[in-house]
Each structure stands twice: as structure tokens, then as C-alpha cells.
């Protein structure tokens, strides 16, 4: 019973699949354990009547063929989940001074680490979550990860010591990293390449916007009801998504969907030899062993992932350094209260909204234009200097404005304008880089996102630890100028890959 069809999507340009010997005829074939529907099979499988594939290119079970309504419902749920979990990272930041008093702690390093320990969970969670998604699919991880996130949030709300609060914040970060790690994989499952940038931008907004808008509500909530109510609010928000994700979020991972189809057909036909085209012949244990090291192999052995992830990680770390010091800067320099200090995060949120509306659409537009001209898609179009250079330049400009105007006590709206400019550029950089890496390693979407998230989250957790000490030593002007010069030095990275990316991909092509 043959159910073979041609591929409906384009495979990434890097040959990183698992090679096996076909036991039937001794031919070597390729089996990609993470690629979803994005893989090419050999003619050996195409002749095999026991191999189950999609029922043609228009199979309604294939997530790429779902209705727009169904696709965007899933993307909307994922995007909001990806917004809620980062809220926990900084929503209580305006209340840190009060928390330090309650727990009789005076160390500024401890104060900063209270915020950044959450991001350590984002750093280490993806190393386990990405391979698990390849074995169990995406949906179970979303559902159970959200349940654990709510449970750990309750623990944080009930904390009786600063150590207990840190421990539960770390666990919240681990559980909350699920949508951040595999959300891009779900979008790759759902969206064709010329529409992916818009969806990716909506999803990518969460990890950046959450830490910025959280303290706005958190500042007033802490002032009115105390810092513990920040966590009770997160429990309420996260709890609302438990039934939503259970009833409305659908599985999108191709190998899991075809595996379910195989099980159904085995029952219907009695043919126990049926197997999925995408499952390969590796056991789940072997698949997990291969997959668990893949993010680190991508991060360490492929210059594209290494340097582009480093670019995003450093700029993300700068964002978190700013976030963790806003309350100190504006309370000491401008006399803001706990509630008012939450408003200092608003410009970053507005800047990111500007970035997500503009740059995600622009990358899709450029892809569509190339397609209309009959040109083959190359991932490098996502990092065109027309996009990355202007975005990159806005980062240091924003930092210079923020640092020097705050240093000289210029009206508070001017340093906030600098933060807005920085945030808009950061969102543009993130959008370009994430879409580029996803297009380049589309068959390993979860793993490449995990690789980027590990480095980004480590930088987001560790860089802020020296923020207050840096400002004390250099002042706000030169301290932020130092960050600006670092951001300025990173601008050539995407330009280099735009020019030489294809050559580099061919040269550095490790077995994954």
C-alpha cells in the first residue's frame, strides 16, 4: 500500500541528515529525525509499499496545508505563551529593593542575580527540551511544561527565604523555556518560507517584550499588593493557558503525525510492517542520544550558528543589563517610586513593537520578490546589509543617548527615547538572525533555536551581574558607551555571512 508523495517544502542548504543502510537493498538512504516534512528520500523508499507518507502535496493532515485560521490560532497561543513565561524574569524587578529589605540582604550582586537566575533556566532547559521534542513531539512539552511552570510559580509566591525564591525562579525558567526553545520549530512546521518571517517575528517578540512590559504592571502591583502578587498573577495567566493549550494547541511535528498515521493504518490494515517515511530506523533511545548533542555541535562546529548566536547573545545581555538596572538608575537619578519605575520599561516595549512590525515583514517581502523573479531562495537574503546594518547602527546610537543624557540628568524622556531606539534595532537584529538560522538549518529548527537560546540566556543571566559595578566605576555615560562600542563592533558579522555565507556553509558541514 503505497502512500508516497513528493516533498511540499524546501530542504535547507546544509546536508545534515543521518545516513543509514537500507536493509532491503543495501542502498544508503537519508533519514532525518528532526526535519518534519522537510526531507528528501531516496528512490528505495519510494518503491517500498510499506512506507507511509503524506497523501500527496495537498494532504490536509500536513500542517503546511492547514487553514490560515488553524495555523494562526496555534501561532497566537504559542506567541502568548512565549510572552507569559519571560514575564516572570523581570516582572518583580521594581520590587527588588523591598525584597532585599524583607530578607535582610544587602549584596547588589544577589539583587541582580535574583533577576538573572531565571534566565539560567532558559539557558539549560533547551539542551533537554529540544531532543525531547524530537521523540515525543511538540504539543506534550507545551502542555506539561506549562503545568510545571504554574506549579513552580506557586512555590516562588510562597517563598520564605531568598534562597528558596532563587531556586523556584530557576525552576520557573527551566519549565518556561519550552515555548522559547521549540516555538520556532512549530512555526517552521506550519508556515512556508515566504510567510515565515512575519510569524517568527510575532513569536520572537515574547522573549524580548515580556521582560520589558512585565515591570510596568509589576511596579504598580508591587506598590499596591506586594511582590508576592507578581507570582500569583503569573499563576493566573499561566493557569489560563493549561486548558487553552490542551484543547486548542495541535501537534505540528511531521514525524510524530506520520507515526500516529502509521499506528492507525496498522490497526486498519493489519500490516505490521508499515513504517513512517520520516521516522528512520533508529530507536527512540538512539535518536535522543543523537539529538541531545546536536545543539552544542551546531553551536561549536558551525561558524554561522556560533557567531550569529554570539551577536544575538551579547545584544540580549545588554538588554538584560539595562532591565536589571533601570529601577536603580531612575530611582536614584530621577526620584521615581516603585510604581513609576515600572514605566521606565515601556520605551523598550514600544521599540520592540516597532521592530517586529517592520523587520519581519521586510524579510518576507524580500523573499517573495526573489521568488517572483524566479530566483532560488538563499538564506542570506534574510541578513541583507539593507536590513542588518541600519538595525545594528541603532543599537550603539540608542545606548549613547541613554547613557549620556542620564549621566547629565537630562529630562527623563530623553534617555527613555535612547532605550526605544536601542530596542527597535535589537528586534530588527533578532528578526533577521533568527530567520536566517531557521532558513539555513530548517530541518533542525528546534536544535538551532536551542543552540541560540543557550548562549543568549547565559549572556542574559551573567552580563547583568556586573552592571551596577560597571556604572559605579565608569558612570552612566562611559558605561553605556562601552556597551555601545561593543555593539558597534558586532555590525560586520551578518555582513560577512551575507557575502560568504554560502561558501562557509559548504565548508563547515558537520554530521549532525
CATH number at residue 335: 1.20.1250.20
Q: Are residues 87 and 221 in the same domain?
A: yes
- As a whole number of angstroms, the distance between CA 187 and CA 200 comes to 7
2 domain-assigned? no
Q: Are residues 398 and 443 in the same domain?
A: yes
463 domain-assigned? yes
Q: Are residues 161 and 258 in the same domain?
A: no
Q: Are residues 405 and 327 in the same domain?
A: yes
**What is the separation of C-alpha 460 from the centre of its chain, rounded to a whole number of angstroms?**
13
401 domain-assigned? yes
The string of pLDDT tens digits covering residues 99-110 is: 888 988 888 778
The string of pLDDT tens digits covering residues 291-346 is: 888 888 999 999 999 999 999 999 989 988 998 788 788 888 888 876 677 678 88
Terminal alpha carbon distance of the chain: 32
Task: Please compute the mean of the pLDDT values over residues 40-66 and round it to a whole number.
Answer: 73
User: Backbone phi, then psi, for 499, in 5-degree steps?
Assistant: -80, -45
Q: Are residues 43 and 75 in the same domain?
A: no
4 domain-assigned? no
Q: Are residues 366 and 227 in the same domain?
A: yes
398 domain-assigned? yes
Per-residue pLDDT for 374 more than 80? no
The string of pLDDT tens digits covering residues 396-411 is: 999 999 999 999 989 9
Residue 214: CB partners within 8 Å, gap ≥ 6?
Answer: 86, 87, 88, 89, 90, 91, 93, 345
| Domain ranges, residue 45 | 20-61+253-287
Which pLDDT belongs to residue 7? 37
Q: Are residues 300 and 245 in the same domain?
A: yes
Q: Are residues 423 and 458 in the same domain?
A: yes
Other CB atoms within 10 A of residue 105 CB: 15
Which pLDDT belongs to residue 487? 96
Which pLDDT belongs to residue 13? 34
Per-residue pLDDT for 370 more than 70? yes
Per-residue pLDDT for 415 more than 90? yes
Task: Please compute the mean of the pLDDT values over residues 57-68 and round it to a whole number.
Answer: 90
> How far lies 39's CA from each of 10, 128, 450, in Å?
8, 24, 21
Global confidence as pTM? 0.76
Q: Are residues 258 and 160 in the same domain?
A: no
Per-residue pLDDT for 12 more than 60? no
150 domain-assigned? yes
Split into its structural domains, the chain has a count of 2
Task: Please compute the mean of the pLDDT values over residues 65-72 and round it to a whole number.
Answer: 92
From the list 478, 437, 215, the residue with the least C-alpha distance to 348 is 215
Which pLDDT belongs to residue 6? 36
Cα 266-269-271 angle, rounded to 5 deg? 60
7 domain-assigned? no
Higher confidence at residue 83 or residue 158? Answer: 158
Per-residue pLDDT for 33 more than 70? no
pLDDT band at 174; cut points 50, 70, 90: very high
9 domain-assigned? no
Amino acid at each position: 500500500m503505497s502512500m508516497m508523495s513528493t516533498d511540499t517544502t524546501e530542504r535547507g542548504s546544509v546536508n545534515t541528515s543521518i545516513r543509514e543502510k537500507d536493509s532491503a537493498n543495501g542502498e544508503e538512504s537519508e533519514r532525518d529525525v528532526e526535519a518534519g516534512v522537510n526531507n528528501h528520500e531516496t528512490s528505495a523508499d519510494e518503491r517500498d509499499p510499506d512506507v507511509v507518507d503524506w497523501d500527496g502535496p495537498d494532504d490536509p493532515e500536513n500542517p503546511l496545508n492547514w487553514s490560515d485560521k488553524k495555523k494562526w490560532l496555534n501561532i497566537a497561543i504559542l506567541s502568548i505563551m512565549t510572552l507569559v513565561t519571560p514575564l516572570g524574569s523581570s516582572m518583580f524587578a521594581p520590587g527588588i529593593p523591598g525584597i532585599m529589605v524583607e530578607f535582610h540582604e544587602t549584596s547588589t550582586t544577589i539583587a541582580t542575580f535574583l533577576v538573572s537566575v531565571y534566565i539560567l533556566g532558559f539557558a539549560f532547559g533547551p539542551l533537554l527540551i529540544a531532543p525531547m521534542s524530537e521523540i515525543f513531539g511538540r504539543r506534550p512539552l507545551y502542555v506539561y511544561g506549562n503545568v510545571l511552570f504554574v506549579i513552580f510559580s506557586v512555590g516562588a509566591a510562597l517563598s520564605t527565604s531568598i534562597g528558596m525564591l532563587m531556586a523556584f525562579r530557576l525552576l520557573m525558567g527551566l519549565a518556561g523555556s519550552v515555548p522559547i526553545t521549540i516555538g520556532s520549530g512549530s512555526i517552521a512546521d506550519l508556515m512556508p518560507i515566504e510567510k515565515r518571517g512575519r510569524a517568527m517575528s510575532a513569536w520572537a517578540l515574547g522573549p524580548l517584550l515580556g521582560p520589558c512590559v512585565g515591570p510596568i504592571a509589576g511596579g504598580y502591583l508591587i506598590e499596591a499588593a506586594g511582590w508576592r502578587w507578581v507570582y500569583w498573577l503569573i499563576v493566573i495567566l499561566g493557569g489560563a493557558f493549561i486548558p487553552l493549550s490542551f484543547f486548542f494547541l495541535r501537534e505540528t511535528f511531521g514525524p510524530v503525525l506520520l507515526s500516529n498515521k502509521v499506528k492507525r493504518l496498522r490497526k486498519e490494515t493489519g500490516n505490521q510492517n508499515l513504517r513512517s517515511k520520516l521516522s528512520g530506523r533508529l530507536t527512540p533511545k538512539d535518536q535522543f542520544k543523537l539529538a541531545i548533542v546536536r545543539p552544542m555541535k551546531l553551536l561549536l562546529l558551525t561558524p554561522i550558528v556560533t557567531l550569529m548566536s554570539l551577536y544575538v547573545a551579547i545584544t540580549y545581555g545588554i538588554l538584560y543589563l539595562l532591565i536589571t538596572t533601570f529601577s536603580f538608575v531612575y530611582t536614584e537619578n530621577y526620584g521615581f517610586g516603585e510604581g513609576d519605575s515600572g514605566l521606565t520599561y515601556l520605551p523598550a516595549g514600544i521599540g520592540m513593537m516597532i521592530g517586529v512590525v517592520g523587520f519581519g515583514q521586510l524579510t518576507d517581502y524580500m523573499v517573495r520578490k526573489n521568488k517572483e523573479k524566479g530566483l532560488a531562495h538563499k538564506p542570506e537574503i534574510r541578513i541583507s546589509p539593507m536590513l542588518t546594518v541600519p538595525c545594528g547602527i541603532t543599537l550603539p546610537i540608542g545606548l549613547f543617548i541613554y547613557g549620556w543624557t542620564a549621566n547629565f540628568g537630562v529630562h527623563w524622556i530623553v534617555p527613555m527615547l535612547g532605550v526605544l531606539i536601542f530596542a527597535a534595532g535589537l528586534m530588527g537584529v533578532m528578526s533577521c538572525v533568527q530567520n536566517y538560522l531557521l532558513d539555513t538549518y530548517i530541518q533542525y529548527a528546534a536544535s538551532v533555536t536551542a543552540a541560540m537560546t543557550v548562549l543568549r540566556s547565559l549572556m542574559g543571566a551573567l552580563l547583568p551581574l556586573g552592571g551596577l559595578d560597571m556604572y559605579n566605576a565608569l558612570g552612566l555615560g562611559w558605561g553605556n558607551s562601552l556597551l555601545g562600542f561593543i555593539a558597534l563592533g558586532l555590525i560586520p558579522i551578518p555582513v560577512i555571512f551575507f557575502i560568504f555565507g554560502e561558501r562557509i556553509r559548504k565548508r563547515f558541514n558537520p554530521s549532525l
